[in-house]
Amino acid sequence: MRAQTLPAASGWQWVLGGFAIYRRSPLMLSLLVITYWFIVVFLNLFPMLGALAASLVIPGLSVGLMLAARNIERHQPVSIQTLFGGFRDNTKTLVVLGALYLVATFAVLGLSTVADGGALLKFMLADSRAERALVEDADFSLSALIVVVGMVPVLMAWWFAPVLAAWHRLPLGKSLFFSFVACQMNWRPFVVYGLGLLIVAAMLPGLVLGLLLSLLPGLQGLATTLVTLLMGLVIAPTVFASFYVVYRDIFGISEIV
What pTM was estimated for this model as a whole? 0.88
- Domain locations in the chain? 10-251
The whole-number pLDDT of residue 59 equals 97
Assess whether pLDDT exceeds 80 at residue 126. Answer: no
d(CA 28, CA 98): 26
The whole-number pLDDT of residue 165 equals 96
> What is the pLDDT of the chain when averaged over all its residues?
88
For 37-46, the CB contacts below 8 A with 24+ separation are 37/232, 37/236
* pLDDT, greater one: 217 or 57: 57
Assess whether pLDDT exceeds 70 at residue 127. Answer: no
252 confidence band (pLDDT: 50, 70, 90): confident
254 confidence band (pLDDT: 50, 70, 90): low
